[in-house]
Chain A
């Protein structure tokens, strides 16, 4: 009997609803208001039994709404008064099961074209959001009262919920209501989720109450996961995290609810949620990392070792989170081991980008600073191993920044491990980066979220920042003023230039080049040697004739000279003197230096010196010489250009007047009205470029006992290639440039995939300069097939090289190459004139 009544009930509901809907869709509109009221009554508790209502919500509600949407253009709808429309038509959307209403509304918005109807639907949606129907939606899923729950429907609903701002924006473009903007919508959704969680808590607490229900957080978790997956995690968690962390601090129920929430987040969105979460705050996750493999992987591995885009603060949060709890502590140790390995790995030092190495170094320092002394003792041997290996591979690197990071980390680790006696101490320049690294060892900015209330932590962070920034602002003005500055001081007296106030020396500098050479060779008097070294550069330049006689001998002496007397600026002085020699007597000196470069028994420093001297000399030679004579020539030209006296020639008077006006008018726009200041001077470098360049290409692959260019001495190799690139670059417009270019490309081809990034940078620089300096017609002619191989290699480097400089250099050379080729293909006949 009971079954019968229920069947008859359901039948009656179905019949009545069908009648109503038929009525609505027909054009006859007289009864429609009553029909709407009837339909609305099914949503009311008073008028129908629970079974009937459930029946309506489950089976007929969506249909009803869809019919309503189709009739939205109908005349009777337009005839409704505003009040009727609000109470009957709109109310049907706002009182029924929210998930169905939302789906229908969004579907309608997607289908309708811009019109008043669309506006109407949008208004209802807005109302839907404002009335907190989202909360009802979530809560209905929590208590499992949402009737229509299939996986597909759920997935659709999640998609719609998380993408609502996008859907609205796509449809409405600029006329969008602020409520639908992500900045407002996602916090709204977040607060709806919070309310749902809060109700769950209340429900859990109220065991004795009649409405004792089972709550499921799956849907909320899924929503959160979906939101984070789509990249809205920041906005949502910024709204949720503070509240959650405040509630979880004291409340056991909240804690359980919260942990449950994060545990039931789907696997594939776990990472997004966690990263968004650690950006916000970490205390609310509980021991999730211990229970969830995926979470463990994200926190202990991915965030620390695979990615490196995050700020230092995130590292602090993650590691701090691991260190905060006794259960998580073993994970910290495990993480530290991994980081140690990553840091000390010589291959990682070579092949990973600088930024990642910095990130790993930061993580290492942070985790070491979080260790307790006991743990440190246990890990001591491993840390030492890491320190030794890592220091070696870092110091081996040819990149200054990497060496620097290595030194700082080494210092910090050793000082943390050993109390007093055996600390490492390096000399490096303090800069922003090293200071930041050093500051990581003092655990100041991070405070345990468990021990302090969130408000405090929140305030603390900006405070420390602002204090720091204030300090930064105030220190520079303080520095120049004296501590006890008063108005009545010497400040009114402005000092004169006192740079001339140098120490007076007793001996006088040599006046002849041969004296200078003599004292450089054999003098034991520090003062004389210093003065001779200082005098060498000007002496050589002044007495070019005398210098040619002894140039090679003097180069030899200077090259082998050691800083025995600790002369100030020794390297610069010696360099200047050698450059002067190479410029004055170019061919013999370059021959000497280029042959010595590959000979036995020189230190790396000396070989680098040779390269530096050659480069500086080439640069100086390629600069145009400035002569005093030029000005007189120009003025003579000026006079010649004056028009000859035109006596009786009946020039038209108007022309004469115009000329005068022209000459009196100042043309500001004409920049170069005065005789051209840049006068053509012969390029002194072009004829000798080959002497600098070609001898250095020989012998590079012949390893000596003391010098293995292709082996361990890659520092010199990088410099050598760079210097060759410079010679190439300076040889622009020189006849020999084409041969130099193809020779250089051939040369660098063998080392283009060198493991040292300095070498790779040098290679790319050389390639750049080839494309810059080689005449474009030669480029295709001489290089031919090589060019296309080079191109593929360059694209490869531009995409895949771990070093940022290498990538940008590769892009640059590609651009240059394309430009040059394009020019050549467009206009193959014209010789290239531009540099």
Chain B
């Protein structure tokens, strides 16, 4: 027994020293940057699967949606559809050609991008004056659910696309303030979709969409919940606020939210959080102009990326099919997008 443990120690030793050695690697630089968005970059969205050239959509504070070709690293097209109001969210549907954008002009627009077009297909009036980004859940190849903040500050509306039928309105009874961020997902355990929402007062609420009832509520932050992201396979999520702490939480079998601790950052304020598809990395867009990368499983800090000169507003991981090509993009108030290649070896 003793011998064994000694042998283990001997094995462990060189590994540890190797780690120490690698520890000293300087943080990486972006592999390239995209300039010319002409405004703060509020939202980024990759579309890299399929045979077409990989694309990056960005929504700027000046009301433009830029479609970047990542091969040529230039804009394919610029869409100006929200009458100059800031774009706060862009997304595409699986059926490639539909782009959805949300602007501060209280409109959500659907665009048809097929065969080089960029036609406005439809638009939805939200009535929300806040900054809450929409959340979309594709329930079938043709239909999807879209959740967005409604006219009243605490109200969340869910509609079905493309029919635009309103499915429900979620209004908390308790006073939790304005809705700040939402995430719609379909867990395996429930028949209907669930919705996570972060509110101004710092609470996280888990809504059952079909029952229109609150399943669970936790106070995750003392300040408004600025952003949240959720990993449906591990049933874990994390939320950021205007303070220094990221708060991690978990969904147990009875659909109860449980706080799990979190991470403390060097500087306060997080605008966006994003988990890579393989569930290994978590990136945070910090107000201190730095992007921080963590291991998602244990929230171990891995890298602090310094490139931007102003607040980082958005961060996104690409959906490349080949994991080696995966990218991370960060959009900042300094009007630049930086692209990074991180931990792609395996």
Contact = CB atoms under 8 A, between A and B. Distances in A.
User: Do these two chains interact?
Assistant: yes
Given A480-B16, A489-B297, A490-B300, A495 B23 contact: yes
A477 B19 contact: no
A501 B298 contact: no
A494 B22 contact: yes
B301 interface: yes
A482 B267 CA distance: 25
A495 B297 contact: no
Question: Looking at chain B, what size class is its interface with the partner chain?
Answer: 20 to 34
A477 B300 contact: no
B332 to A, nearest CB: 14
B303 A496 contact: yes
Interface in B1-32: 9, 12, 16, 19, 22-28
A493 B302 contact: yes
B24 A495 contact: no
Interface string A494-513: 11111011111000000000
B280 interface: yes
Given A500-B306, A501-B304, A494 B290 contact: no
B23 A502 contact: no
A587 to B, nearest CB: 43
B267 A498 contact: no
Contacts of A502: 266
Given A480-B16, A501-B290, A495 B266 contact: no
B346 interface: yes
A421 interface: no
A501 B294 CA distance: 14
B343 interface: yes
A492 interface: yes
A504 to B, nearest CB: 5
A542 to B, nearest CB: 25
Name, among A500, A501, A503, A504, the residue most crowded by chain B CB atoms within 10 Å (CB to CB).
Answer: A501
Nearest to B27: A496
A495 B28 contact: no
Contacts of A492: 346
Contact of A493 (B16, B26, B292, B295): B295
Contact of A495 (B9, B12, B16, B301): B301
A505 to B, nearest CB: 10
Contact of A496 (B289, B297, B298, B302): B302
A498 B22 CA distance: 12
Interface in B72-102: none
Contact of B9 (A477, A482, A493, A494): A477
B167 to A, nearest CB: 38
B112 interface: no
Contacts of B292: 501
B297 A501 contact: no
B155 interface: no
Interface in B136-183: none
A478 to B, nearest CB: 12
Contact of B23 (A497, A501, A503): A497
B26 A490 contact: no
Interface in B267-313: 267, 280-281, 288-290, 292, 295-298, 300-304, 306
Contact of B343 (A480, A482, A493, A500): A493
B317 to A, nearest CB: 14
A494 B26 contact: no
A477 B10 CA distance: 11
B303 A490 contact: no
Which of A477, A488, A498 gathers most chain B CB within 10 Å?
A: A498
Contacts of B304: 496, 498, 500-501
Interface string A467-483: 00000000001001010
Contacts of B301: 495, 498
Nearest to B287: A504
Contacts of A488: 297
Given A477-B9, A477-B12, A500-B304, A494 B19 contact: yes
Interface residues of A, number: 18
Contacts of A482: 298
Contact of B266 (A480, A490, A493, A501): A501
Contacts of A495: 23, 300-303
A500 B12 contact: no
Contact of A490 (B22, B280, B289, B290): B280
A490 B298 contact: yes
A500 B346 CA distance: 27
A504 B265 CA distance: 12
B174 to A, nearest CB: 35
A475 to B, nearest CB: 13
A488 B279 CA distance: 12
A644 B306 CA distance: 56
Contacts of A501: 266, 290, 292, 304
A490 B302 contact: yes
Contacts of B288: 504
Contacts of B302: 490, 493-496
Interface in A331-386: none
B27 A500 contact: yes
B266 A503 contact: yes
A672 to B, nearest CB: 32
A480 B303 CA distance: 19
B27 A497 contact: yes
A682 B278 CA distance: 63
A180 B23 CA distance: 63
A75 B102 CA distance: 128
Contacts of B295: 489-490, 493
Contacts of B300: 490, 493, 495
Nearest to B22: A494
Given A498-B303, A504-B288, A493 B23 contact: no
Contacts of A497: 23-27
Contacts of B12: 477
A503 B298 CA distance: 23
Contacts of A490: 280, 295-298, 300, 302
Contacts of B28: 496
Contacts of A477: 9, 12
A384 B24 CA distance: 55
B96 to A, nearest CB: 32
Nearest to B304: A501
Given A490-B280, A490-B298, A493-B343, A503 B267 contact: yes
A499 to B, nearest CB: 9
A507 to B, nearest CB: 15
A190 B307 CA distance: 82
A473 to B, nearest CB: 9
A480 B304 CA distance: 22
A500 B306 CA distance: 9
B297 A498 contact: no
Contacts of B289: 504
A496 B26 contact: yes
Contacts of A480: 16
A782 B323 CA distance: 81
A498 B289 CA distance: 15
B346 to A, nearest CB: 7
A480 B12 CA distance: 12
A495 B25 CA distance: 8
A785 B179 CA distance: 92
Interface string A648-677: 000000000000000000000000000000
Interface of A: 477, 480, 482, 488-490, 492-498, 500-504
For the complex of A and B, the 5 pairs showing the least CB-CB separation, nearest first, are A490-B295, A501-B304, A496-B303, A494-B22, A496-B27
5 contacts: A488-B297, A494-B19, A495-B301, A500-B306, A503-B266
Interface of B: 9, 12, 16, 19, 22-28, 266-267, 280-281, 288-290, 292, 295-298, 300-304, 306, 343, 346
Given A489-B295, A494-B25, A501-B304, 14 more contacts: A480-B16, A490-B298, A493-B281, A493-B295, A493-B343, A494-B302, A496-B28, A496-B302, A496-B304, A497-B23, A498-B301, A500-B27, A500-B304, A500-B306
